[in-house]
Amino acid sequence: MPIPEDVTGEEIDKDVRQELQSLPKTLADDVARNLVMVARLLDEDPEAAYGYSKVALRLASRVAAVREAGGFAAYANQKYGEALAEFRAARRMTGTVDLWPVMADCERGLGRPEKALDMAGAPEVQKLDKAGQVEMRLVAAGARRDMGQLDAAIVTLQSPELASNSVQPWTARLRYAYADALLAAGREREAREWFAKAVESDRDGSTDASDRLAELDGVEFTDALDESEGDGENGEVNPSAEDGGRD
């Protein structure tokens, strides 16, 4: 697959670069450049990222970072069985538990929420850092919802991290998941409160909490550039949002 000339491979994390030192230099550079493309395209073009990950795997399947990248690329393309296999391989190579939550989420993707819940109660979870433990809690709540256990999902998300007023990288997603579970359970007033809290903490736009909040408030957005609908008889432009009633 073509790689832009400005991609040198030096862009990758230094720890990954160190892993690649076990390879001949020319091969290490080729693998590094493909890994850069995986990271660059994973969100905007997962299919292309997957293609680059397959190249890297073909070149250096015995490197843990390559197996991990392959796992995330497969995961982004909903190839959960393949992703799980790659994550397991990376974990065997490194001996770390960092991938435990995403491995559990792969089990959900494969239609095995019970297995994801078993993993949520495993000793490995205690070895995760705070971010990993929060991620595991999100996966466990999702598994509960997969099984139709809405109340249990809500209880799973109730935690010191949810109650904390400090904003951490995981705060917006945790509050959003809690609001979404409340809404699914028919607790609309509480859901609105938590969607609002998610908006306050979502500094990088990682959720669509603002849109969900607007939906609950009955706000409808129209295209301000659509003159055929926006111009009134007296040449006045209608507001871009109208307040409607709640359901």
For 146-204, the pLDDT digits (tens) are 999 999 999 999 999 999 999 999 999 999 999 999 999 999 999 999 999 999 999 88
CA–CA distance, 84 with 225 (Å, rounded to integer): 47
The CA distances from residue 62 to 22, 56, 99, 204, in Å, are: 10, 10, 17, 35
* pLDDT tops 60 at residue 247: no
- The confidence band for 226, taking pLDDT boundaries of 50, 70 and 90, is low
Instruction: Name the pTM for this structure.
Output: 0.84
Task: Check residue 217 and give its pLDDT.
Answer: 87
* pLDDT mean across residues, the chain: 90
**What contacts 155, CB < 8 A, 6 or more positions away?**
none
Read off the pLDDT of each residue in 74-86 and give the average, rounded to a whole number: 98
Mean pLDDT of 216-234: 58
Higher pLDDT, 232 or 78: 78
Side chain identity at residue 206, one-letter code: S
240 has pLDDT over 50:
no
Higher local confidence (pLDDT), 225 or 82: 82
Work out the average pLDDT over 210-229: 71
